[in-house]
Amino acid sequence: MAQAANKATALWVLRRLREAGFEALFAGGCVRDMLLGVRSNDYDIATSATPREVRKLFRHVLLVGVKFGVAMVIHQRQRVEVTTFRSDLSYSDGRRPDGVRFTTARQDALRRDFTINGLFYDPMADQILDYVGGRRDLERKVIRAIGPADKRFAEDYLRMVRAVRFSVRLGFPIVPATAKAIRRLAPKVAAISGERIFDELKKMLSLSSAAQALRMLADCRLAEVILPELFGGDDWPAAIRRVELLAGKRDFALTLTGLLCQLPPPTISALCRRWGASNDLRGCILWCAENLSRWPAADEMPLAGFKRLLAGRHWQKLLSLWRAQERIQTGRQIACLRIARRAAAIPANEIAPPPLVTGEDLKDMSLRQGPRFGQLLQQLYDEQLEQRLVSRQAALARAMELIRDEPNST
């Protein structure tokens, strides 16, 4: 899959458009980042060329949104989004325009979300084109909607969540008029698809500032619409505290687990489905949630059970979660230090060794399949993990002993 283009590739695409007689400019976030002295991860181009005209100029072009003037140029396994200057017609779904009109750079800037994202840059002339006061707001370090905030948000309610993300990421406050409009329109976020909400949450919860982002979402009245399951009791403050302690690792799955782990498992599963989250992520959160309360006794639990935890794919996340939970409940890290020492003392090859006795072995001993069959296998494996069975010969002898005690073993 093609990755986001670097500046050199984007510049190559832009020059090709200019040589063909079209106006072409760097647009949006890459211009903002350049002015802030931040390296950009994505370069977008706005142009007077239509998508079909773009396709004639480049070898590999995906017409990902002809109706909205969007083409994707693929060059050297990198992708550059090329969008025709446009103004949007009415919005009836709070997400996409019902239609667009191809127009000028000025009109294109006026339909964008925030002033700091409405800038263009002409690299040929080394000139910033600012039709919306974005450069001034960058200097003032504020987030401001372009034009009437209510209108901008009505065009795409997700912009309200994006305002919070930009504010926290850049450290810029949202100007009062824009913030007031967000609080007024916050319930409208319920109309946005879970997948789009989740994408924004992922970007916020992947940063060390995740707790700050969640607090701002709550202050803007967005959090209770996006995550109503965490409101109505004490779940929200506790979740924020866990996120605060975990976000420094910049591990999205861990931070999200910290946010959700005290919810009932069916609620966690329903949230993951609503967001379109992967089965692996859902499994991680559920497993950690299931084991969340085990930290006070984990250093003394039977060795077999402890090894089963160590063998879990998400053990390190669980240990981080336990550390946060112990700190919240006791203000200390004593239990988790003992747990970590116990885990470190177990050789890696002893955590989840191959079983000394298999199901085929039990069948060869004429044990019938049934509920007890699986229970017996687990008992034998637990004894192996406890190091009471250290050889196959001893394990088979133990299996025969247990089978002889079965009333219906033959």
The tens digit of pLDDT for each residue in 155-190 reads 899 999 999 999 999 999 999 999 999 999 999 999
- Residue 151 inside a domain? The answer is yes
- Band (pLDDT 50/70/90 cuts) for residue 4 is confident
Q: Does residue 1 sit in the same domain as residue 106?
A: yes
Within this chain, do residues 183 and 302 fall inside the same structural domain, yes or no? Answer: no
DSSP-assigned states of every residue in 158-210: HHHHHHHHHHHHHTPPBPHHHHHHHHHHGGGGGGS-HHHHHHHHHHHHTSTTH
| CATH code: domain of residue 217 | 1.10.3090.10
**Is residue 204 pLDDT above 70, yes or no?**
yes
Residue 382 near residue 356 (C-beta atoms within 8 A): no
Q: Is residue 42 domain-shared with residue 117, that is, in the same domain? A: yes
- What local confidence, expressed as pLDDT, does residue 2 receive? 78
Last residue of a domain, one of 122, 140, 158: 140
| 303 found inside a domain | yes
Spatial CA neighbour of 113 closest among 190, 178, 22 = 178
What is the Cα 174 distance to its own chain's centre?
A: 23
Query: 163 lies in which domain range?
Result: 142-226
Helix (H, G, I), strand (E, B) or coil at 44: strand
Structure confidence at residue 410 as a pLDDT band (50, 70, 90)? very low
223 pLDDT above the threshold of 70? yes
Confidence class of residue 212 from pLDDT cuts 50, 70 and 90? very high
The one-letter amino acid at 140: R
Give φ, ψ of 359 to 5 degrees.
-60, -35
Residue 234 lies in a domain: no
Res 316 pLDDT > 90: yes
d(CA 38, CA 2): 23
| Same domain flag for 6 and 49 | yes
Extract the tokens encoding 340: 């970590």
**Angle between helix 315-330 and 334-344 (nearest 10):** 160
**What does residue 79 show for φ and ψ, rounded to 5 degrees?**
-115, 140
pTM over 0.85: yes
**148 shares a domain with 211:** yes
Count structural domains, the chain: 4
Please check whether residues 67 and 101 belong to one and the same domain: yes
Residue 241 lies in a domain: no
Residues 175 and 101 in one domain: no
Residue 233 resides in a domain: no
Assigned domain for 410 exists: no
Residues 160 and 189 in one domain: yes
Do 119 and 133 reside in the same domain of the chain?
Answer: yes
Q: Please check whether residues 257 and 345 belong to one and the same domain.
A: yes
d(Cα 187, Cα 338) in Å, to the nearest integer? Answer: 46
Indicate whether 217 and 281 sit together in one domain. Answer: no
Where is the domain boundary, 140, 161, 193? Answer: 140
The CA-based diameter of the chain, rounded to the nearest angstrom, is 90
| DSSP symbols for 52-119 | HHHHHH-SSEEEEEGGGTEEEEEETTEEEEEEE-EEE--BSSSSSBS-EEE--HHHHHHTSSBGGGSE
Q: Packing angle between helix 235-246 and helix 315-330, nearest 10 degrees?
A: 120
Judged against a pLDDT cut of 80, whether residue 408 lies above it is answered with no
409, pLDDT greater than 60: no
Residue 209 has a pLDDT of: 96
pLDDT tens-digit series, residues 91-150 = 555 555 555 678 899 999 999 999 999 999 999 999 999 999 999 999 999 999 999 999
Domain assignment present for 63: yes
**227 has pLDDT over 50:** yes
Same domain, 3 and 135: yes
State the average pLDDT for the chain: 92
